[in-house]
Structure 1
Amino acid sequence: MTAPRVVIADDQALVRTGFRMILTAGGIDVVGEAADGTAAVDLVRRLHPDVVLMDIRMPTMDGLEATRRVLAAEPRCKVLILTTFDLDNYVYSALSAGASGFLLKDVTPEHLVAAVHLVDTGDALLAPSITRRLVERFAPTSTPPAPHRDLSTLTPRELEVLTLLGRGRSNTELATDLTLSEATIKTHVARIFAKLSLRDRAQAVILAYETGLITPGDPPRSE
Structure 2
Amino acid sequence: MLPPRILLVDDHALFRNGLRMVLTAGIADLEVAEAASLEEALRTSMQEPALVLLDIQLHGLNGLEGIALVRRKWPQALVVILSSEVSPHKVRLAMERGASAFVSKAEPADRILAVIGQLRQGLTVAADGMQAGEGGADSQPLLTPRQSEVLDLMCQGLSNKLIGRRLNLSENTVRGHVQAVLAALQVSSRSEAGFAARQRGLVA
Superposition TM-score, scaled by structure 2 size:
0.61
Q: Are 2:1 and 1:11 aligned?
A: no
Structure 1's 107 and 20: CA in aligned 2 closer, same or farther, altered over 3 A?
same
Q: For residue 162 of structure 2, what is the aligned residue in structure 1?
A: none
Deviation at 1:18, TM superposition (A): 0.3
Calculate the aligned-residue CA RMSD, in Å: 3.2
5+ residue gaps, structure 2, are 135-141, 153-165, 170-200
5+ residue gaps, structure 1, are 137-166, 185-221
Q: Give the Cα separation in 2 of the matches to 1:31 and 1:68.
A: 21
CA offsets per residue over residues 26-69 of structure 1, 9 Å max, x none? Answer: 125243111112222333x8521111111001112110121111
Q: For residue 164 of structure 1, what is the aligned residue in structure 2?
A: none
Given that 2:87 and 2:130 are in contact with CA atoms closer than 8 Å, whether structure 1 keeps it comes out as no
Deviation at 1:132, TM superposition (A): 7.8
Q: For residue 145 of structure 2, what is the aligned residue in structure 1?
A: 170
Q: Are 2:40 and 1:39 aligned?
A: yes
Deviation at 1:110, TM superposition (A): 1.9
Letter aligned with residue 54 of structure 2: M
Letter aligned with residue 84 of structure 1: S
Once superposed, which parts of structure 1, at least 4 consecutive aligned residues long, lie more than 6 Å away? none
Q: Are 2:78 and 1:75 aligned?
A: no
* Percent identical: 30
Partner-residue secondary structure (3-state), 2:69: helix
Higher relative contact order by CA 8 Å / sep ≥ 6: 1 or 2?
1
Given that 1:172 and 1:182 are in contact with CA atoms closer than 8 Å, whether structure 2 keeps it comes out as no
Structure 1's 57 and 88: CA in aligned 2 closer, same or farther, altered over 3 A?
farther
CA offsets per residue over residues 58-100 of structure 1, 9 Å max, x none? Answer: 1121101211111122221111110112326332211111111
Superposition TM-score, scaled by structure 1 size:
0.56
Structure 1's 32 and 169: CA in aligned 2 closer, same or farther, altered over 3 A?
closer
Q: Give the Cα separation in 2 of the matches to 1:99 and 1:18.
A: 23
How many residue pairs were aligned?
150
Q: Are 2:90 and 1:90 aligned?
A: yes
